[in-house]
Structure 1
């Protein structure tokens, strides 16, 4: 086992975990630490460097996430081979703070930033995912293998109305293992996005022109899809635990749309007592529950939360899932799991519709999942997003402290902050943009946007470089306070 003795600047602005990670990464890239070399144990290295075990663990997690090391069961952490030279080394966050431009140059740059969104240095857009670590070579191979499929109708024709049967079987197996959902391929319908799934349900169940209850606030994309099919929306307010289920009987809705495992956008988890009440409401009022489990893979605090569908013994829950967060938004792959009583009649009606998700992409995804790449990718991304999540929380605490309240920080790829400056959303967004940072208002998720607290800001972190999050928040704090 090797000994590591980097020079760590404990008084510097760069987090210690980042300094340690950058040192080990450099040693691996230079060949000083060769592939197959066992790295020191976390406890041993923390004692040697006189830093916390969390510091070492976070640095190691970053190395694993980027493919510089791997954890072997009961053996420890080992360096991996670097297949390609890195053209540009990671920049130290301290380097990003050094301003060499004149005041006039800075003013000109700020003006250009306001006028040209393409020059924004940091974009906290919700929905962005990590693209740089996507296993592109593996995905290309899966696409090529799909194109080489002996039966070209599987990839080049319109496809089965429900989607590829083998892919649906893989998804059924994945859902049972990851979310406790018991279903079979015949209950699953593939589609090109959650909004398309909702539109399909409106046409085929049918839900058109029916009254649908929704969380308020709740996902505006689904609300738009429902309204475009003539549905009337009954907004149900939230409290600290999520949807106020006791209000449902009074609205006489045919169905209710919920995000129980990670409420969007506020982030709370619907407790088991309310889940049971919600299922009871559906049974007693012959209602349906549309469960959108949009980012269940990414939970950072506590144990994984079982899906509502896993508790559904009366076949009242329609489960919606997507691969946009766990894989690629561009793949346009989502799915609906129908209760068995609804699946059979819906299959008959689906014959009138063409499958909206590309058969070629479905065949490639089948290979990606069947060969184990999807599971590895999700595990890798979960570690990486956890690092970004920790970096964002640490930066908010470091640079903003009690001047902001953090909302919904336990899971997902976004959080909300309540900014205590007295300024409204429009002013906060404009000041951030002048500093080269794009942040967003969550107001459109409210049934009546004016009811959104005027100091709420949404920060999506999935697409950000984890090494630059601290600098982004530092600049944001300087612009706001």
Structure 2
């Protein structure tokens, strides 16, 4: 019996004494330190020993009984009912979990980690600079949203396509800023673009189907398609444009307004050819418009969806870059015939999407003009940083990469001008001097002979951009690249 009284109640691991006593008794039973059938001290004895209320011990015994560690016999007491032998029968075997064919198709390609320097042109380079986000305005919007959700108590059902005020706000926003005429009934709110891609992969791909993707492009998108059983056709984004071929496919994924990662813009004639191909092959085009709101010059380019008179384009958009990444609100503009099946598939994983309060807040943020006001500020901010980047290249005569000229986005894509061996020397030397960036080889299936890179600038100060380019220029000169 002395074993039951060896607990030190001064142990600070538990907030309440009943928790400490329960865990102590459970452990000695699980460890086999008491045999099945052993009678526990009466609640009166235990309470006296530990200086606690008798009801506390009764509560502990009731918890042990509920969990199956003890049994009770009226008039006789409480007895140990659990043997560690039962636990040994459940010991883990060496057999691995049998995974599905779908799980085995998940690609394992991982992005190589780059050495981070003091001036890191990779960093959060493809994400917005949150230091400039009007967080006070957003908090006020959230407070207003909570006041405007009283209607939920008066309706029987929540619209599974998403909050109608948000869908109406998105339709109006896209009309003002992108020239799109969108019916709110064709918009479905999703938890970001990747959820939309995942659902579409299951709906539109059978094992062995061919799916066309840009080369280079997002590896995570490609992984969704191949995991669904697709064979990928890589359509190169050539220096002279995107060439539409007679692909044997019913699905293509493109980023026409600002191709990732090259930054190229699909020309009108290319868009028309792509739409004609989709018509002839009864195919669906997934258009990912991931960051083209950040146009440095003029109005954002009209999406491919504007030309979609056949209703063959699925347009995916997100607020991850223009409001908050953690908000996880995206939207899909779907062909009418696809909406019911899309919702059924989405609902297999849960009928509800992003928090209703956050959806309402996003609707208010858009309707009151706060979003467009924020975008105007950020366009000026990013344009200034882009210009500092370009001016620094000229000022310090850094002629290392052939840059793709683009008017949108938060990064620049460049091709190295010299040998691969010289590039590796340059990259390593720059890293030692505190400047790093990201290789874009990860986004290629067959990387080009000349290394290509992505330089993000949105997260850096103008001074850091200038200092980074200056450092790179000094390193380049010291290595005497291209002079041998």
TM-score by length of 1: 0.69
| CA distance, structure 2, for counterparts of residue 166 and residue 468 of structure 1 | 42
User: Does structure 2 retain, via aligned residues, the 8 Å contact 1:318–1:337?
Assistant: yes
1:297 to 293, 296, 307: 293
Per the alignment, residue 328 of structure 1 pairs with 324
Distance 2:206 2:233 in 1: 14
| Cα deviation, residue 306, structure 1 | 1.4
Partner of 1:435: 433
CA distance in 2, matches of 1:467, 1:478: 17
Give the equivalent residue in structure 2 for 1:180.
Answer: 179
- When normalised by structure 2's length, the TM-score is 0.68
Contact 1:201-1:207 within 8 A present in 2 as well: no
Give unmatched runs, 5+ long, in structure 2.
1-112, 478-484
> Is 2:459 the counterpart of 1:459?
no
CA shift, 1:158, in A, is 12
Deviation at 1:288, TM superposition (A): 0.8
* Residue 207 of structure 1: how far off its partner (Å): 6.0
Aligned residue runs from structure 1 range 55-454, under 5 A: 117=116, 120-125=118-123, 126-151=125-150, 160-205=159-204, 210-245=209-244, 247=245, 249=246, 251-301=247-297, 304-354=300-350, 355-422=352-419, 423=421, 426-448=424-446, 451-454=447-450
Query: Residues of 2 paired with 1:218 and 1:199: CA distance?
Result: 16
1:325 alignment partner, SS class: coil
The DSSP-based 3-state class of the residue aligned with 2:454 is strand
**2:121–2:438 contact (8 Å) kept in structure 1:** no
Note the C-alpha offset of 1:290: 0.7
- CA drift of 1:315 comes to 0.6
Q: Residues 209, 116 of structure 1: CA spacing in aligned structure 2 closer, same or farther, 3 A cutoff?
A: closer
Taking the aligned partners of 2:324 and 2:218, their CA distance within structure 1 comes to: 20
Residue 231 (structure 1) shift:
2.4
CA gap of 1:474–1:220, structure 2 versus 1, over 3 A, is same
Q: Distance in 1 between matches of 2:263 and 2:406?
A: 7
Matched-pair contact (CA < 8 Å) for 1:425–1:456 = no
SS of structure 2 residue aligned to 1:262? coil
Using a 3 Å threshold, how does the CA distance of structure 1 residues 310 and 462 change in structure 2: closer, same or farther? same
Aligned residue pairs, count: 360
- Give, in whole Å, the separation in 1 of the partners of 2:337 and 2:376: 34
Secondary structure in structure 1 of the residue aligned to 2:229: coil
CA distance in 2, matches of 1:302, 1:115: 35
Give the Å deviation of 1:397.
Answer: 2.0
RMSD after superposition? 2.7
Which 10-residue stretch deviates more, 177-186 or 266-275? 177-186
Q: 1:121 to 1:402 in 2, by over 3 A?
A: closer
Cα deviation for residue 148 of structure 1 reads 4.2
List per-residue Cα deviations over 1:357-386 (Å, max 9, x = no partner): 333322221221122111111111111111
What whole-Å deviation, never above 9, does each CA across 1:146-198 have from its counterpart, x for those lacking one?
A: 344443969xx997532222111111111122222222222112222222110
The 2-side partners of 1:145 and 1:395 are apart by 45
For each residue in 1:413-445, what CA deviation from the matched residue of structure 2 results, as whole angstroms up to 9, or x when unmatched?
Answer: 111223335345554433232122220001111
Structure 2 distance, partners of 1:312, 1:336, is 15
Q: Which runs of 5+ in 1 are unaligned?
A: 1-113
Q: CA, structure 1 residues 315+241, in 2 after alignment: closer, same or farther (shift >3 Å)? A: farther
Distance in 1, matches of 2:253 and 2:159, equals: 27
| 1:145 match: secondary structure | helix
Instruction: State the partner residue of 1:479.
Output: 475
Q: Per the alignment, in what secondary structure is the counterpart of residue 261 of structure 2?
A: coil
Deviation, structure 1 residue 335: 1.3
- Decide whether aligned partners of structure 1 residues 428 and 197 sit closer, same or farther in structure 2, where only a CA change above 3 A counts: farther
Distance 2:323 2:336 in 1: 28
Cα distance in 2 between the residues matched to 1:359 and 1:228: 31
The answer on whether the counterparts of 1:432 and 1:438 sit within 8 Å (CA) in structure 2 is yes
Over 3 Å counting, the alpha-carbon distance change for 1:421 and 1:239 in structure 2 is closer
In the alignment, what sits opposite 1:41?
A: none
Q: Secondary structure at the match of 1:418?
A: strand
Assess if the C-alpha contact under 8 Å between 1:193 and 1:334 holds in 2: yes
Query: How many Å separate the matches in 1 of 2:321 and 2:174?
Result: 15
Q: Is the 8 A contact 2:189 2:331 kept in 1?
A: yes
